[in-house]
């Protein structure tokens, strides 16, 4: 099987001020990037991930850092599988948190359950956007969140 292409961002930022480093860290978390080493992150390559890393690199350079965007592939299937497993595990933990919140909301009053439904749908949307290798929890989380609609619907 042919390995997929990855977009990589190699970067370095000065220690002070810390705000740009925190901003980059948060953006990488939002994107769901795999941390491959100090100052090296990666995502499966597509137009969106490439553009995101290009934007990040520009911001890093503007903050007096250095950044290079690369395209490449791990040398072995085992290396790629390890990266994929790490990404899948990270998303599974996020889906597990949504499942826990949905379980708690299921026993709540209608108005609280409705608010939780809105929040959890937004949380799901954010996680799905960075979920390149869906774990089984993805479908479970969707089902649990949408199940919050059912009790109110049945009472009408």
Q: What would the pLDDT profile of 108-121 be if each residue is shown by its tens digit?
A: 999 999 999 999 99
Domain spans of the chain, in order of start: 6-73, 87-155
In this predicted structure, the answer to whether residue 150 has a pLDDT above a threshold of 80 is no
Does 33 or 1 have the greater pLDDT score?
33
pLDDT for position 28: 97
Residue 30 CA to residue 9 CA, distance in Å, equals 15
Q: Judge whether 115 and 121 are in contact, CB under 8 Å.
A: no
In this predicted structure, the answer to whether residue 88 has a pLDDT above a threshold of 60 is yes
In this predicted structure, the answer to whether residue 155 has a pLDDT above a threshold of 50 is no
DSSP line for 74-123: -SSHHHHHHHHHHHHHHHHHHHHHHHHHHHHHHTS-HHHHHHHHHHHHHH
Which phi and psi (to 5°) does residue 100 adopt?
-65, -45
Q: Judge whether 123 and 98 are in contact, CB under 8 Å.
A: yes
pLDDT for position 32: 96
In this predicted structure, the answer to whether residue 67 has a pLDDT above a threshold of 50 is yes
Distance, CA of 73 to chain centre:
20
- Element housing 42 (H / E): strand 40-44
Which phi and psi (to 5°) does residue 77 adopt?
-65, -35
Options 3.30.360.10, 3.30.390.50, 3.60.15.10, 3.30.70.240; CATH for 6-73 is 3.30.70.240
- CA torsion through residues 115, 118, 121, 125, sign: negative
pTM assigned to the model: 0.86
Does 8 or 2 have the greater pLDDT score?
8
């Amino acid at each position: 099987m042919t390995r997929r292409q990855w977009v990589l961002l190699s970067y370095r930022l000065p220690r002070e001020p810390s705000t740009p480093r925190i901003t980059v860290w948060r953006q990488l978390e939002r994107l769901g990037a795999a941390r491959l080493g100090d100052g090296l992150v990666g995502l499966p390559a597509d137009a969106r991930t490439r553009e995101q890393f290009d934007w990040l690199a520009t911001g890093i350079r503007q903050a007096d850092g250095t950044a290079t965007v690369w395209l490449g592939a791990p040398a072995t299937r085992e290396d790629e599988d390890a990266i994929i497993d790490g990404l899948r595990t990270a998303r599974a933990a996020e889906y597990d948190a949504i499942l826990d919140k949905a379980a708690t909301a299921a026993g709540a009053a209608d108005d609280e359950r409705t608010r939780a439904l809105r929040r959890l749908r937004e949380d799901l949307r954010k996680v799905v956007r960075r979920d390149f290798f869906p774990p089984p929890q993805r479908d479970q989380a969707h089902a649990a969140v949408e199940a919050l609609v059912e009790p109110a619907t049945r009472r009408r």
